[in-house]
Amino acid sequence: MKNRKSFFRIVSIMLVAVLALVGCSSSNDSGNDKEKSSEDQVTVDIFQFKVEIKDQFEDLVKVYEDENPGVKINVKTVGGGNDYGGTLKAAFASGDEPAIFNVGGPSDVEEYRAYLADLADTAAAEAALDGTLTAVQEDAKVLGLPFNQEGYGLIYNKNVFEEAGINVEDIVTFEDLQNVVETLDKQKEELGLDAVFALPAKELWVLGDHISNMFIAPEFNNDIQEAYHAETIALEKGDELKRYLDLQNKYSVQPILSLDYSQQVEQLFSLEKVAMIQQGNWVYNSVYDMDPDFAENGIGILSVPVEGFEGHIPAGVPMFWAVNDKKDDKVVQASKDFLDWLYTSETGKNAVLEDFKFIPAYKDYDAEKISDPLSKQIYEFAEVGKTIEGWVYQATPTGWNQETLGVNIQKYLSGDMEWDEVISKSIEKWEAERQ
């Protein structure tokens, strides 16, 4: 009898434990979907990569939700190219797939093809500027919508240049740049500078993606698709790349290998400790947060001298919005509607220009409203056709730019690898990956 009593006690304890487990797990699923969908509520999960616009984007989403009571939008932001790709993959692998997510170019498209909805019928795809869709176009299908345009180059401190008596118009060729850098270096005491450059060699995306891209893209005629199908790479402009890296390294704040993006932009450039940094228009918000006056009046962008492309700025579409085709039809439609609204409605357009400070990749925008000087300048470069298009690092073998080329460049900068080896090892890896 006694045994029996304790047996029942055990069983009842176990039952409670199991119930608790089951109770926890099921509350997520049944709660949202079944009850709310009966009231025509649609939930759209957005997973986006641009940390710079996180708050502004969330505010805009609230406006949309107010205008469309039936739609609930959840925004999740994970920043930095590298982290985003990994987190997105993890989200898909775990079955927690977002309805709207970002893809970078042909490699990403290939990987997520089964999930990508055709967006050719959206108003936004209609309005996209010529050439901004090539990376995600397949026959008549449009598998993504451009985020914005971005451009990068050497961002310089106007005040310092003025004080040193340098006219930016004069900087065209590499030799010009070299002379200017030497002039600045001689006067760095009087100008209050730590060094001329801040080269964030800790960031593989700066070395492997941005710097390298300028010297790789011309080899593929600035065409993403061509790079994506290339069996090999010659790194024809390798010497130019080396020359440019050496210049930045020599005149940079040291040690470069532990220098990261935030130190470069916030600590060094915004506080006017360096004269030039190689970055893009996305730094504007960070500089603005540190020193609004400097951001508005004190900075400009210069083109990096690449032989044959002097005076050109690399500009292109960094990322695309993709809609998850495997979601419910209603969710897919709601996602498309939201993206259309974002890029073609008046409210959306204003936000894109004024709050996100984007350089639009769509027609019918009022260029006068581009509020920050860097974007405006890049837009001007684009207007006169002085851009290097094709961000081919989105089309190289996965991970090649950062994990192979970027890492090898780091080895070179720290003196552990000869430049010849950087070139040959990087080519080898490309060929091995494309077999």
Q: Which chain residues interact with other proteins by CB under 8 A?
A: 6-7, 10-11, 14, 17-18, 21, 82, 85-86, 89-90, 92-93, 111, 114, 201-202, 204, 254-258, 263, 398-399, 402-403, 407-408, 410-411, 414, 416
Q: How far is the CB of 279 from other proteins (least distance, A)?
A: 19
N-to-C CA span, the chain: 74
Q: How far is the CB of 240 from other proteins (least distance, A)?
A: 22
Q: Which is nearer to other proteins, 3 or 38 (CB)?
A: 3
* Inter-helix orientation angle 419-433/238-250, to 10°: 130
Q: How far is the CB of 40 from other proteins (least distance, A)?
A: 32
Q: Which is nearer to other proteins, 198 or 201 (CB)?
A: 201
- The neighbour count for residue 282, using CB atoms within 10 Å, is 21
DSSP character at residue 130: T
Q: How far is the CB of 64 from other proteins (least distance, A)?
A: 31
Q: How far is the CB of 295 from other proteins (least distance, A)?
A: 23
Q: Which is nearer to other proteins, 10 or 63 (CB)?
A: 10
Q: How far is the CB of 22 from other proteins (least distance, A)?
A: 11
Q: To which residue do tokens 């005629």 refer?
A: 221
C-alpha to C-alpha distances, 109 to 106, 138, 316, 324, 358, nearest whole angstrom: 5, 10, 17, 12, 23
3-class state of residue 161 by DSSP: helix
- Name the amino acid, one letter, at 45: D
- The rounded distance, in Å, linking the Cα atoms of 190 and 257 is 27
Q: How far is the CB of 211 from other proteins (least distance, A)?
A: 15
Q: Which is nearer to other proteins, 111 or 310 (CB)?
A: 111
Q: How far is the CB of 403 from other proteins (least distance, A)?
A: 6
- The rounded distance, in Å, linking the Cα atoms of 300 and 294 is 10
Q: Which is nearer to other proteins, 17 or 63 (CB)?
A: 17
- The rounded distance, in Å, linking the Cα atoms of 426 and 235 is 9
Q: Which is nearer to other proteins, 237 or 429 (CB)?
A: 429
Q: Please choose, from the candidates 312, 107, 279, the residue with its C-alpha nearest in 3D space to the C-alpha of residue 206.
A: 279
Q: Which is nearer to other proteins, 165 or 415 (CB)?
A: 415
Reduced to 3 DSSP states, what percent helix, strand and coil does the chain have, rounded to the nearest 5?
55, 15, 30
Q: In residues, how long is the chain?
A: 435
Q: Which is nearer to other proteins, 174 or 419 (CB)?
A: 419
Q: To which residue do tokens 């042909």 refer?
A: 106
C-alpha to C-alpha distances, 98 to 36, 202, 251, 274, 422, nearest whole angstrom: 18, 31, 45, 41, 39
Q: Please choose, from the candidates 275, 294, 276, 274, the residue with its C-alpha nearest in 3D space to the C-alpha of residue 284.
A: 294
Q: How far is the CB of 329 from other proteins (least distance, A)?
A: 22
> If residue 106 lies in a helix (H) or strand (E), which one and from where to where?
helix 106-112
Q: Which is nearer to other proteins, 21 or 234 (CB)?
A: 21
